[in-house]
Structure 1
Amino acid sequence: MAFAHLIVELHCLYGIGDQDEGIPPVPPFCKYGVRKPGYHCLMENCEFSGHAPAPLEIAYSDEKGEVASDAWIGFGGDMDPNPYNDKMVSELKESWESLCKKKVNEAYEDYMKQHKLLEDEE
């Protein structure tokens, strides 16, 4: 079976632009309440959900595949050079990619060592 891991921003659009038409009922599958989207929105193909790509981010997801607000970081903001420079940003993004991949591998190796799950490589 082919699959891919994706990082996307999921948005709850409930109530946006509905002022003229009245507010529709909250969908029965809305687990956490409006403005708190989750995987259930995708699973139910919620008419009020929207999504956008989340480029250049690294994250840890929980048992439901959802990412807490303190479990991700994305390139941008204070990571951008000042003054802004396209060439420098391109170089910094390459550095960010390299560091993120390295840290993911380090996390795996540290976990395996900490829990003595790696065979000795002697």
Structure 2
Amino acid sequence: MKFLIDNWFLVLAALVSGGMLLWTSLSRAGGAGAISTAEAVQLINREKGVLIDVCEAEEYAAGHAVGARNIPLATLEQSKQLPSNKALPLVLLCQSGARAQRAAGMLAKLGYERVLPVAGGLRAWREANLPIEKAGA
């Protein structure tokens, strides 16, 4: 007890730094349920995750993640390109991550079990130096 009293500033510093670490882990960028680009790649490679780009066709043509299926957000609910196996992980991308978050909610309502938007979207994908291609290239 004497140690705690004599070193109250060290205890306070430890509590503050621990609180800051907890805060950052609870409020991850990209919203609830968003995953990092590294987690996305692992899901695609290890669990046969399906990469879906929910951008409009023009945005997709200008540049998209290699191997991504383009299913624009507006056509998502009636798309025939969605996998029939609703247990497969669906990894969602858009330019910034905002549309992917909305798409995740829509797909969850359709019964898909693992719908995971990528935090930061295509910008984060590029920053991670992951492969990008253009339509027709």
**TM-score of the two chains, using structure 1 as the length reference:** 0.20
Normalised TM-score (structure 2): 0.19
